[in-house]
Amino acid sequence: MKNNISPKRILFHYMLGIPTGGSDHSLYNHLKQLDKKQFYPVVFFSAESFHYEKLQKLGIEVHIKKVPKVKKKQSKEILHTEGISKTVIKTGLIEFLKVNFGREIKALVKTLPEVFFLYKEIKKNKIDILHTNFNLSASRGAVIAGIIARIPVIVHNRGLSNLLRIDVLLSRFVKEIICISDFVKKEYTEKGISEKKCRVIFNGVDTEKFIPSNNEQRDKLIIASVGRLEKWKGQSVLIKAASMLLEKYKNIEFWLIGNGSEKNNLVQIVELNGIKQYVKFLGEVNNVNEYLTKVDIFVHTSIEPEPFGRVIIESMACRLPVVATKIGGPLEIIDNNVNGILIEPNNVLELVLTLEILIKDFELRKKLGQNALTKVLSHFSIQSTTLKIQNSYLNNE
């Protein structure tokens, strides 16, 4: 007998400006692996991204959707209807709400156009499951729309967020919150989210794309960092360490892959230290896997907690020795001195000493890199991650 059951239609909501960074790549990897016989994905972006055309080439239905914004004047009109005005005069209730729940009221009013818009889209597209690709507060409108439409809502919490009380309340009505690390889960539960709602599913890496490098001993060593150039990412720590190392070692080149608001400041630090010829700003690249095959040591220098650290597992898949700061997600990825090295955040001297050990010891680099690859294959494959998420879809009907 033929199985005539139609695949479940899942709306993947990622309408947060121009999609970029780890969450964008992780969504693409998941959709690429998704079992299309069981699930039919429909993706909503608010702007075109690098992965927009790539998803279309995979035959995935992708839409650019513009949600109307609430203007300040409209917000006031909603909050000050004739009935509310009378209540204010008689009881002072609205003043009480403004003082105690002002942020919640404003947040709800701002989401109303998105709620109405997405509710209609959910019905029009006959969506069975809603999967938001970011944290609860950033996906508030989508979550409310899904709840009203009475379909299972899965929130994929890929980062840290400032939750309002309304978000904690909404969490009671979602089917599941996927957290990309225990660190992220702990942050949510400490803010009042039920532990029963949260499930940890680590990001996965495409091991067919990120393949092991040859680990050859080369005359020139390349030390690389990949990620948005933002202050909290700590690339300035790497540049300061580079300046100190280059006083002794001239056979090193440093690559910074990525763009961001901190780029001009970082370029200035490089120029002030007179190391411009040794530090390359490569910008945002689409083929980071090809760059990583030419790298000898990977460094991740976040000075604030990293929710997970997808670029770390990508580097590990390329059999690279990784040095990362011991805060947030990296603590759950790296076993210190086994498949990578963990250091204190914002500690230039410790980074210098650690890199110097790796620069001198080719065999140690080789050992750490091989152990890193083994860890990725056993814990962080995209196939394993996708299967776990698919189980969430099936268990939350």
**Residue 167 reports pLDDT greater than 80:** yes
**Taking 90 as the threshold, does the pLDDT of residue 283 lie above it?**
yes
* Lowest mean per-residue pLDDT among 23-32, 274-283, 297-306: 23-32
Question: How much is the average pLDDT of 169-187?
Answer: 95
The pLDDT of residue 193 is above 80: yes
pLDDT given at position 75: 47
- Residue 325 β-bridge partners: 343
pTM exceeding the 0.95 threshold for the entire prediction: no
SS3 of the chain: the string is CCCCCCCEEEEEEECCCCCCCHHHHHHHHHHHHCCCCCEEEEEEECCCCHHHHHHHHCCCEEEECCCCCCCHHHHHHHHCCHHHHHHHHHHCHHHHHHHHHHHHHHHHHHHHHHHHHHHHHHHHCCCCEEEECCCCCCCHHHHHHHHHCCCCEEEEECCCCCCCHHHHHHHCCCCEEEECCHHHHHHHHHCCCCHHHEEECCCCECCCCCCCCCCCCCCCEEEEEECCCCHHHCHHHHHHHHHHHCCCCCCEEEEEEECCCCHHHHHHHHHHCCCHHHEEEEECCCCHHHHHCCCCEEEECCCCCECCCHHHHHHHHCCCCEEEECCECHHHHCCECCCEEEECCCCHHHHHHHHHHHHHCHHHHHHHHHHHHHHHHHHCEHHHHHHHHHHHHHHCC
Indicate the domain borders of the chain.
8-69+103-204+382-395, 221-379
Residue 386 reports pLDDT greater than 50: yes
298 contacts 350 by C-beta, under 8 angstroms: no
Fold identical between 8-69+103-204+382-395 and 221-379? yes
The dihedral over CA atoms of 165, 170, 176, 178, expressed in degrees to the nearest 10, equals -40
Domain 221-379 sits in which CATH superfamily? Glycogen Phosphorylase B; (3.40.50.2000)
Question: What CATH number has the domain spanning 8-69+103-204+382-395?
Answer: 3.40.50.2000
Residue 397 reports pLDDT greater than 60? no
In the block, which residue shows the tokens 């942050």? 187
**Does residue 91 or residue 300 have the better pLDDT?**
300
Q: What's the pLDDT at 279?
A: 98
Q: Which pLDDT tens digit goes with each residue over 312-334?
A: 999 999 999 999 999 999 999 99
Chain segment 83-128, per-residue pLDDT in tens: 434 444 444 444 544 555 667 777 788 888 899 999 999 999 999 9
Residue that has been written with the tokens 């976040």 in this structure: 302
Tens digits of per-residue pLDDT, 342-367? Answer: 999 999 999 999 999 999 999 999 99
